[in-house]
Structure 1
Amino acid sequence: MKLYVFQVAPNPTKVRLYVAEKNAAGDELPVDEISVNIPEGEARTPEFLKKNPHGQLPVLELDDGRCFAESLAIIEYLEDRFPEPSLLGDSPDSRLAAREMERYIDVGVMMPIGQAVHATRSPIGLPPNPPVADAANHRAGRTLDYIDEMMSDGRPFVMGEKATVADCTLAAALQFGRYGRLSCVSGHEHVVAWD
């Protein structure tokens, strides 16, 4: 399988971190990573648009040539194919909790951080927009308040004792925030310590 990514982008990073966690736990996923340079237009070439007509990343190309996009769909596919050790949870209840937290972080942290970065230091060259950046920083900060409080019990991972997809999503969001030099994370001592 081939995983098409842009190194800076948070959604491909989420999948890359998931693959790295699985590999570190001993389940070597047969995934070759291929970098696509978005600023250079590589995601808009006719060849790439055959893989994903939207020109977005990540894209997972299966061995038979079929291609699929959307980070969480890719992660869930890989989890179905390579279930041990699970990063989605070992029971229906733990999977529900991990998916809920992943979505909460995706919508409440990753999306606003993405908006703030693109409104301050866009890796694809968008113009600065300070009011958008300020509002997005504030939204991410509110969600990080909740996560910081939750992690104040000293847990090693977002959901407790084991890494889950929620950790991959939060780490990807925070990495993108560092790229954008955002300040929304700095006041969250437990999140900063976890990161």
Structure 2
Amino acid sequence: MISTLTGRVAAISLDALVLDVSGVGFAVRTTPQALADARHGQELTMHTELVVREDSLTLFGFPRPEETEVFRIVQSVSGIGPRIALAVLAVLTPDDLRRAVATGDTAAITRTPGIGPKVAQRMVLELKDRLGAPSAPTAEATAPAVPATPAPGVGADVAQALIGLGWPEKAAADAVDRALADAEDETVEPGALLRTALRTLGGTR
């Protein structure tokens, strides 16, 4: 089992990054936030979970070990696989999820594509004693991403990434259009555009 990888970021896409570890490139699926924070050439450690299927081996990874643990625990809920577990962490931080489970806030959980009220209720019941208590909120601010000129077709690429996370095609396209319209700069970094679209989708189903 591969539990951690430390290497140089060799490539970044909208749903994965490639870590060069001693000349071997490992493709790691991760969250939009982690992808937006990563930089080419950066030395990075990812806490990973290898998902084995009959026809594939997929490596999922996160900058913080608690994200990997939550990713693993969420999959213990009946009907939830790695794709939906990753979508949960794209929409909710581990602490947001802990808080939603602790308070029975199924509405917050159903912001995740692929999770309806019944599955959200099941998550509350099955995860209540497994995720732990949420931490106290802090005033720590998140540093904004440095804008970069988007590649041609970046909007379409971001829409495809959202579809891959489980949102319907029209909802994904509308969210990207709104994110582009709301951008204060003419330039926009794809990871930042993806995060903005996710915030838009967070209030809709």
TM-score (norm 1): 0.29
TM-score (norm 2): 0.28
Q: Which has the higher contact order (CA 8 A, sep 6+)?
A: 1
Name the structure where helix makes up a greater proportion of residues: 1
